[in-house]
Structure 1
Amino acid sequence: MFGGADPDLEKAPQVGKTPMDDTSDGAVPGESFMYGNSVYAKLQRLAGKLSVEQRGVERVPDNERTDTSYLNISSMWLAANLVVSSFAIGVLGYSTFALGFVDAVLVCIFFNLLGVLTVCWFSCFGPAFGLRQMVLTRFWFGWWPTKFIALLNVLSCLGWSAANSIVGAQLLNAVNSDVPGYAGILVIAVCTLFITFAGYKVVHLYEFWSWIPTFIVFMIVLGMFAHSGDFRNLPMGVGTSELGSCLSFGATVYGFATGWTSYAADYTVYQPSDRSRVKTFFAAWGGLIPPLVFTQLLGIAVMTATTINGGDNKYQTGYLQSGNGGLLGAVLDPLGGFGKFCLVILSLSIIANNCPNIYSVSLTLQVLSRYSQRVPRFVWVFIASCVSVGVAVPGYSHFEIVLEDLMDFIAYWLAIYSGVALADHFIVRRGFGGYRPETYDQPDKLPYGIAASISFCFGVAGMITGMSETWYIGPISMKAGEGDVGFELALLFSFVIHAILRPIELKMLGR
């Protein structure tokens, strides 16, 4: 065991202080892993020698907040979204929803703009309070309900990681058909593990530079495809079925864009507390929107070439053989060996997308209980990486179904999460001044979470009435041409109910 009742189980010491100065979150005053003999203490000391981040979900003190660059915020999300996974979302516009070019483009732009808003907003909480996203959740949902939210986030992170690894494996398979899917998945997972194991600084350093070669390759793809003349301006549909397809594709796009919501603050938590919220918001926005729109529009455009009639359609053949990897391989095929090299670069771009997933899932697992918090962050990174591989390998041959269902699941629950948080922040707390961040680890000073839990249930009810899945179509969705409006209704229901119930809970229970 890593801990039990061992008093040596303590978090990372604060830089500039002695380990004995730090006594929060279940720690025993005056004792530290720096002097203990437990497995936890020994692992943490080893991590310190290797310059591996030791801090987990404990609040980051002011003297450790040395990340003063807004560019670090932008580049983090730029690299994480300038990847083939985003390209794959654009491909779904025609392959799954049969949309024309113009309507797919308009849906892509609108729902991306909508989806990133909460990511940018939550990014402002990291500098303000020095707390991770799932820890901040306690202020809206309370101590115990937050554990359920954390569990949903674990599922999302692992699902994200698995889906991304599958895309990378498809690319490697397109380069060399002798490379099986599981081998490509392992390559992506091991590379991601190496970076996330080291922690916050190394993750940001990698994201700061990794987008450059990926951007160059995507520009080559754009140039090659434009030069080929194979683009087809697929006509826009009409009627109720077109409405349904647009709404369902929009839910998928929204799910991808808003997927970072549940760990946005994790990547600004080392920013100084005096950071401008406006600049932080737009630093995140500037890193999110350009890569999301660019890569997804590229995917929408390239996928139109699969409709070319007559002869051997290399795009259709490549897509059927190796999915998104085969589609990109068809674009780059005229470049020969250099084209295959470009595919390898694109496959490795998945690492930048997976780093936030694996890094944040390790922190989320620490929120589940006092005992899980006593497992070092970097140990959880290793365990989560293994699990994501176990999920990705069997999902390799069902990628499109996995991707669409995952994006819808993320859109649903994050819409409910955002609805509760928005109502609590703006209507109940009325801004950042309504928080007492020092109580983040004190259950008796946090909300009971009754109002939030009920609001969550109403959000689920809204989701059910508006969702459109192969296994269930809600009554409101049927009225919209079987289009998915689940996330919109989920957010609306949870927001309204929490705005009504939370003041009542405060008045009756006092917290």
Structure 2
Amino acid sequence: MSDISSVDKTTTKADIAPKDLESGSTKEGITAGVETTDQFARPAKSTWWAKLSDNGVELRGAEPVPVEKRTDTRYVNVLTIFATSMTSLLPIGIGSATTLGFGMSLKDAALMIVFLQFFFGLPAAYIITIAPLTGMRQMIQSRYCFGKYCNILTSVVVTLTVGGFGVVGSINGAQCLAAVHPGTLPVEGAISIIMVISLVIGFMGYRVMHFFTRWAWIPSLFAIIILVGAAGDQLGEQSPGRAHTGKDYMGMIAFTAGNMITWSNVAGDYACYMPPTAPRLRIAMYCLFGIAAPFSFLMTLGAAIGGAVFAVPAWTAAYKAGGIGAVIGNILITRLGDFGRFILVLLGLSVLATCGRDVYTISFNLPAVAPILRKVPRIILAVIATAAIIAIAIPASKSFVASVTAFLSIIGYYAGASVTCFLLEYLWFRKADPASLDPAIWDDGRALPTGLSALAAVLLSWSLIIPAMSTTWFAGPIAQKAGDLGLILAVVVAFITYLPIRTLEIKIRGRL
């Protein structure tokens, strides 16, 4: 990469006094005297990359953000970036799987959705408050638990997770665009259109993403309100629920956890440019309500639409022809005509914030998966991420409900174990002290923990996850008798194994 000049070795002294999450009090000198070296390789002033940077494109990769560059004090951006990306077709499509896939009644689905979304959103709400204190993206923070090399596994899973949400969102949006004039735009073409536009949003970076999401929720919310009004009385025509036992409901818990607890693995990416003095409680609440409130409402709407699909003949035919997107198209076009087509386009494009956010996150996770990619400009990584999502979304669109239920359940199991290890590391072994996450060693495999303790805890948890998991393609012997206990056992096993193994590792190494 001849366009990239030598690394800027500017070193600063950070004398930080962050606020306590619960009380808002100040902990003096929590990271006083920590030296932060900016390891970002800046482009030469005359290059094309420099011109992009001058026009607002974020070129910085996985390197920790030094204190003097953590200047974003628009803390409400945390709320808008999550709420806007959630105010789309993505949660509607996921919510429809609760009634179509799990056979829940609308009443039971709604109660479980609201409670579980807020409950499983709590880890992300806490973890995001660490990012302003450290200037580190989430996958870099994870290295202080999983180590540089074992963290590659977590990075792979998180990258697949975020990419999976991009796949789901692009399919939802594409189905709507294809339903505007059936037979003119195939779903495959609509997926490509959505992802190319999302690429432009995602590669621009942190500031542009936050600016876009500050306003993009307005047309999305308008379109969703029109959809609810158009569906109206037909939403009351619900098919009777098929789920009646505790075994049936356990799968719903793993499914809900899969789409919410996984935000703990990426939340910090959207607050790492905020100063160490950022109000932690406010940021935590912005995060929690940004991800849980719109997701709960729209998942419930999706559950209502899914529950009515086989009770309304026209919806049944539309669903068999083109999935949930076609059902939404039938609702809007039948009731509202050409205006309904316009609303359908708005709904189809509502996933741009979701998919753009996912492209953005993946472009930072790829260097954690393969460290050699640190030399590749983030813009190129964003193009690679977009191409991969398109390639996966097109075949996945053929069996959407089965794909999404299996996907969210499986990632929920891993996220439960990995997030448990990270929280134990930070809260128990590091005493919730951000100074213990020394930015000087973020890329030093020898100075970082080995990660073997976390890896062992995660692998041991899978020894019980597999017999206790229940998906569309596999159900273990425990799950067949008691329901899907994979998530619960993932958390429990990771908790009881990580503590003693990590304690032994620290004793042997003589340091964290």
Normalised by the size of structure 2, how large is the TM-score?
0.89
* Aligned residue number for residue 190 of structure 2: 184
1:302 Cα deviation from its structure 2 partner = 2.1
Contact 1:161 1:357 in 2 (8 A): yes
1:288 maps onto 2:294 in alignment? no
Per-residue CA deviation, residues 121-154 of structure 1 (Å, 9 max, x unaligned), is: 2211211100001000111111110112111122
Matches within 5 A, 1:185-204: 185-204=191-210
Contact 2:138 2:265 in 1 (8 A): yes
Q: How far apart, in 1, do the equivalents of 2:294 and 2:4 lie?
A: 47
Q: Mark the CA change 1:376 to 1:411 in structure 2 (over 3 Å): closer, same or farther.
A: same
Q: How far apart, in 1, do the equivalents of 2:462 and 2:47 lie?
A: 44
* Aligned residue number for residue 330 of structure 2: 330
* Aligned residue number for residue 24 of structure 2: none
* Aligned residue number for residue 205 of structure 1: 211
* Aligned residue number for residue 419 of structure 1: 420
Q: How far apart, in 1, do the equivalents of 2:320 and 2:370 lie?
A: 45
Q: Mark the CA change 1:238 to 1:66 in structure 2 (over 3 Å): closer, same or farther.
A: closer
Per-residue CA deviation, residues 144-196 of structure 1 (Å, 9 max, x unaligned), is: 10112111122222222122111111111111212111110011111101111
Tell me the SS of whatever aligns to 2:309. Answer: helix
* Aligned residue number for residue 91 of structure 2: 86
* Aligned residue number for residue 452 of structure 2: 450
Q: How far apart, in 2, do the equivalents of 1:172 and 1:410 lie?
A: 28
Work out the percentage of aligned pairs sharing the same amino acid. 27
Matches within 5 A, 1:306-317: 306-308=309-311, 313-317=313-317
1:408 Cα deviation from its structure 2 partner = 1.5
Q: Mark the CA change 1:26 to 1:346 in structure 2 (over 3 Å): closer, same or farther.
A: closer
Q: Mark the CA change 1:494 to 1:151 in structure 2 (over 3 Å): closer, same or farther.
A: same
Structure 2 counterpart of 1:195, one-letter code: I
Q: Mark the CA change 1:470 to 1:402 in structure 2 (over 3 Å): closer, same or farther.
A: closer
1:125 maps onto 2:130 in alignment? yes
Unaligned regions of 5+ residues in structure 1, if any?
16-20, 36-40
Q: How far apart, in 1, do the equivalents of 2:93 and 2:159 lie?
A: 23
* Aligned residue number for residue 507 of structure 1: 507
1:374 Cα deviation from its structure 2 partner = 1.1
Q: Mark the CA change 1:94 to 1:429 in structure 2 (over 3 Å): closer, same or farther.
A: same
1:262 maps onto 2:265 in alignment? yes
Tell me the SS of whatever aligns to 1:77. Answer: helix
Q: Mark the CA change 1:297 to 1:371 in structure 2 (over 3 Å): closer, same or farther.
A: same
Per-residue CA deviation, residues 205-247 of structure 1 (Å, 9 max, x unaligned), is: 1111111111111111222223x355135555575xx323322
1:87 Cα deviation from its structure 2 partner = 0.4
Structure 2 counterpart of 1:223, one-letter code: G
Q: Mark the CA change 1:250 to 1:261 in structure 2 (over 3 Å): closer, same or farther.
A: same
Contact 2:100 2:307 in 1 (8 A): no
Q: How far apart, in 2, do the equivalents of 1:401 and 1:265 lie?
A: 31
How many residue pairs get aligned? The number is 486
Tell me the SS of whatever aligns to 1:396. Answer: helix
Tell me the SS of whatever aligns to 1:444. Answer: coil
1:53 Cα deviation from its structure 2 partner = 0.8
Matches within 5 A, 1:335-484: 335-433=336-434, 435-438=436-439, 439-480=441-482, 483-484=483-484
1:300 maps onto 2:306 in alignment? no
Matching residue within 212, 221, 227 for 1:221? 227
Per-residue CA deviation, residues 413-438 of structure 1 (Å, 9 max, x unaligned), is: 11111111121122211213562332
Q: Mark the CA change 1:122 to 1:356 in structure 2 (over 3 Å): closer, same or farther.
A: farther
Contact 2:416 2:487 in 1 (8 A): yes
Per-residue CA deviation, residues 330-355 of structure 1 (Å, 9 max, x unaligned), is: 32221111111111101101111112
Structure 1 counterpart of 2:300, one-letter code: L
Matching residue within 87, 102, 111 for 2:107? 102
Tell me the SS of whatever aligns to 1:430. Answer: coil
Contact 2:117 2:256 in 1 (8 A): yes
Contact 1:422 1:495 in 2 (8 A): no
Per-residue CA deviation, residues 274-332 of structure 1 (Å, 9 max, x unaligned), is: 112211111111212220111011111122322337xxx11111211121112212322
Contact 1:54 1:376 in 2 (8 A): yes
Q: How far apart, in 1, do the equivalents of 2:411 and 2:383 lie?
A: 23
Contact 1:147 1:368 in 2 (8 A): yes
Tell me the SS of whatever aligns to 1:452. Answer: helix
Contact 1:225 1:231 in 2 (8 A): no
Structure 2 counterpart of 1:90, one-letter code: G
1:70 Cα deviation from its structure 2 partner = 2.2
Tell me the SS of whatever aligns to 1:139. Answer: helix
Q: How far apart, in 1, do the equivalents of 2:60 and 2:9 lie?
A: 5
Contact 2:130 2:434 in 1 (8 A): no
Unaligned regions of 5+ residues in structure 2, if any?
13-34
Matching residue within 70, 76, 93 for 1:65? 70
* Aligned residue number for residue 60 of structure 2: 55
Structure 2 counterpart of 1:113, one-letter code: F
* Aligned residue number for residue 18 of structure 1: none
Q: How far apart, in 2, do the equivalents of 1:57 and 1:84 lie?
A: 30
Contact 1:65 1:271 in 2 (8 A): yes
Per-residue CA deviation, residues 91-128 of structure 1 (Å, 9 max, x unaligned), is: 11221111112111122122212221222122112111
Q: How far apart, in 1, do the equivalents of 2:494 and 2:318 lie?
A: 44
Per-residue CA deviation, residues 364-401 of structure 1 (Å, 9 max, x unaligned), is: 11223442111111110111111111111222212122
Q: How far apart, in 1, do the equivalents of 2:343 and 2:11 lie?
A: 43
RMSD: 2.4
Tell me the SS of whatever aligns to 1:445. Answer: coil
* Aligned residue number for residue 38 of structure 1: none
1:265 Cα deviation from its structure 2 partner = 0.3
Q: How far apart, in 1, do the equivalents of 2:51 and 2:371 lie?
A: 22
Structure 1 counterpart of 2:320, one-letter code: L
Q: How far apart, in 2, do the equivalents of 1:339 and 1:202 lie?
A: 30
Contact 2:176 2:345 in 1 (8 A): yes
1:66 Cα deviation from its structure 2 partner = 1.9
